[in-house]
Amino acid sequence: MIQLDGAITPENTLFVLLCFEGPDIYSTAGGLGTRVSELSEALATQGYTTHLIFIGDPYKPATELRVEGRLILERWSQWVSKYHLSGVYDGEEQKLSDYTQSIPYHVYSKIVRPAMFEGKTVVIMGEDWHTAEVMCNTSDLLHWLGLRQKVLMLWNLNSLMSLHRINWGRLNYTTTLCTVSKYMKHRMWGLGVNPLVIPNGIPTRHLNPVDHEAVRRLRAIARRNDPQRLFLFKIGRFDPDKRWLMAIEAVAHLKQSGYPVTLLLRGGIEPHGAEVLRHAQELGLVIQDVVAHRPTMQQCMDAIEYAGYADIYNLRFFLPEEFLRTTYAAADATLANSGHEPFGLVALEVMAARGIAVTGSTGEDYAISFENAIVTETEDPDEIVGYLLHLRRHPEDQERIRSAGHLTSQQFLWDHVIENLVGKLEFLARKQGIDLESSLAERVLSGQCAPLLEQSHTL
């Protein structure tokens, strides 16, 4: 196959991903951990050597190789994490200080410098506010060593948390800013910056068919032998932005109107959860807590079935992926009706499982109402009620939305997202004057590696 001039390839480029969260259970608190874990694995699967440096489990190896050695997991700040065992954000400030100060020289000496000797370009990507300062510091160090113009540096924003802690002028000067949706791009305009949009993605396995027998059983459990009973699902942090109260009120309005509902919900440990459940009780909804310890899919179903009658089943356990995808497919709708959603990964996962997603209208750029999803425009719970009853009256629309949503999800596989990323990297490489095609010998002759040769005698 003929390579185009200036093409990013696994032979000439390697990646460094900097993020607080990562693939360890200790390191995952939300969608960010999922994003970097799946992106790093997808890059390595495509052949790119990829380093993921994150706040890892203090009792796992400091370095771990995956995907035939191309994915290098580097668990950082483990000496701090040993004193903070409750997860990645326990002891957050101490970890942030250690991460910010120690990463830059490590990236230079152990990754950038060897890569330059091999004639490779390094792409460094930082995620969210925790990595803003370390990206700036790394840029400064590489500039001082004469290498900054040979390295591509991107910083990506996934949420609006702690943006007041970022020096936007400095970050915008030292890196290329990115975000995950047009909605977030427009939010960032208010900060005086104009990022590139590179969306999130889903792994190819999410397109695998869901077991039809498992779907049938879960529907039967949720409907409690009442085929007219609506089956809804909602998952996410107990955050007001997720519009939990709107969802709960929609369930109550349906019940009061003579349309019984089973809602499976999976929230987090956030304080808002108590307010949500209290409000549900005040509205006359019956709640059953369902508890299990690392269950299989069948054990999840058994636990719900044996929990007894309820309007709402509060699932207080980690949901395995197989059960999660079965629930997406089995439910009449998954309520991903957030008032602020940077991208909307849950809704995309629902589409991949041939489910019906009810979204908000913020970062879900891919959602078209009554085409591949149901899009809510207001905070009025009766908007959800009206749309669900419309679908109930028009089963042909349900099947059309499920099929169209599945087609949409195929456009957001990580392989396609990486094509988007690579296209933007090639644009940035041309802008910086990086010659992606020249060999190491050519770089030495042109003087591009002169700083490295000098440093090899002095460092």
pLDDT tens profile 268-288: 889 999 999 999 999 999 999
Tell me, yes or no, if the pTM score tops 0.85: yes
Which of 69-78, 278-287, 439-448 is the least confident region?
A: 439-448
pLDDT tops 60 at residue 453: no
Q: Are residues 380 and 353 in the same domain?
A: yes
pLDDT interval class at 446 (50, 70, 90)? low
**pLDDT for position 303:** 97
Residue 86 inside a domain? The answer is: yes
Residue 449 pLDDT > 60: no
**Contacts by 414-417, CB closer than 8 A, 24 or more apart:** 414/38, 414/39, 414/42, 414/201, 414/202, 414/203, 414/204, 415/42, 415/46, 415/201, 415/204, 416/201, 417/39, 417/42, 417/198, 417/199, 417/200, 417/201
CATH number for the domain including 351? Answer: 3.40.50.2000
pLDDT for the residue 454: 53
Strand-pairing partners, residue 439, are none
Amino acid at position 364, single letter: E
Last residue of a domain, one of 393, 410, 427: 410
pLDDT at 137 over 90: yes
Is 90 exceeded by the pLDDT of residue 443?
A: no
Here the tokens at position 343 are 């991208």
Half-sphere exposure of 151 (CA within 13 A, CB side): 28
Measured distance CA(145)–CA(338) in Å, rounded = 46
Q: Are residues 107 and 177 in the same domain?
A: yes
Q: Check residue 457 and give its pLDDT.
A: 41
Distance CA 367, CA 371 (A): 8
181 with 215, same domain: the answer is no
Count CB atoms within 10 A of the CB of residue 142: 24
Max Cα distance, the chain (Å): 81
Q: Which residues pair with 156 in a beta bridge?
A: 127, 178
For 101, phi then psi, to 5°, come to -80, -35
The tens digit of pLDDT for each residue in 214-241 reads: 999 999 999 988 989 999 999 998 999 9
Q: How far apart are CA 45 and CA 10, in angstroms?
A: 10
Residue 367 · residue 373 · CB < 8 Å = yes
Mean pLDDT across the chain, nearest whole number? Answer: 94
Residue the block writes with tokens 């185009």:
4
Q: CB–CB of 315/290 below 8 Å? A: yes
- Which tens digit of pLDDT belongs to each residue from 26-46? 999 878 999 999 999 999 999
Angle at 356 between CA 365 and CA 372, to 5 degrees: 45
81-93 mean pLDDT: 96
DSSP state, residue 362: S
What residues pair up with 15 in beta bridges, in sequence order?
50, 123
pLDDT at 436: 85
Q: Are residues 330 and 384 in the same domain?
A: yes
2: pLDDT confidence band, cut at 50, 70 and 90?
A: very low
pLDDT interval class at 438 (50, 70, 90): low
Identify the H or E element spanning 76: strand 71-76
Per-residue confidence band for 403, with pLDDT thresholds at 50, 70 and 90? very high
In a domain, 1, yes or no: no
Same domain for 87 and 172, yes or no, is: yes
Residue 109 and residue 185 in one domain: yes
Residue 6's pLDDT band (cuts 50, 70, 90): confident
Same-domain check for residues 288 and 359: yes
Residue-level pLDDT at 441: 45
Is residue 334 located within the same domain as residue 431?
A: no
Strands 230-235 and 374-375: unpaired
Give 214-226 as a DSSP string: HHHHHHHHHHTT-
5 located within any domain: no
Residues of the chain with pLDDT > 70, as a percent, come to 94
| Side chain identity at residue 57, one-letter code | D
Residue-number span of the structural domain to which 108 is assigned: 13-201+414-458
350, HSE (Cβ side, Cα atoms, 13 Å): 31
Q: Which two tokens stand for residue 2?
A: 């003929």
Say if residue 286 is in the same domain as residue 433: no
Among the candidates 410, 431, 448, a domain finishes at: 410
Same domain? 193 vs 237: no
Q: Is 306 helix (H, G, I), strand (E, B) or coil?
A: coil
Task: Find the mean pLDDT for residues 248-274.
Answer: 96
Tokens found for residue 161: 């948390």
Given a cut of 80, whether residue 174 has pLDDT beyond it is yes
Please say if the pLDDT value at position 4 is more than 50.
Answer: no
Q: Give residue 440's pLDDT band: very low, low, confident or very high (50, 70, 90).
A: very low
Which residue, among 428, 402, 429, has the nearest Cα to 196 in the 3D structure? 428
400 inside domain: yes
Residue 321 identity (one-letter amino acid): E
Place of tokens 């699902």: 233
Q: DSSP states of 26-67 as a string?
A: GG-SSHHHHHHHHHHHHHHHTT--EEEEEE--TTS-SEEEET
Dist. CA 205–CA 296, nearest whole Å: 18
Would you give the distance in Å from CA 253 to the centre of its chain?
32
User: Are 261 and 119 found together in one domain?
Assistant: no
Kindly state whether residue 3 falls inside one of the protein's structural domains. Answer: no
pLDDT at 451: 55
- Rounded average pLDDT over 252-279: 96
Q: What does the block give as tokens for 118?
A: 């091999």
Helix 244-256 vs helix 381-393: crossing angle, to nearest 10: 50
Report yes or no on 275 lying in a domain: yes
Number of domains in the chain: 2
User: How is residue 194 written in tokens?
Assistant: 């104009």
The residues facing 179 across adjacent strands are 157, 197
Cα–Cα dist 382/390, whole Å:
12
In a domain, 315, yes or no: yes
Domain assignment of residue 6, yes or no: no
Do residues 107 and 136 make contact, with C-beta atoms less than 8 angstroms apart?
no
Domain identity same for 39 and 167 = yes
> Helices in 269-413 by DSSP H: which ranges?
272-282, 297-305, 321-330, 345-352, 381-393, 395-410
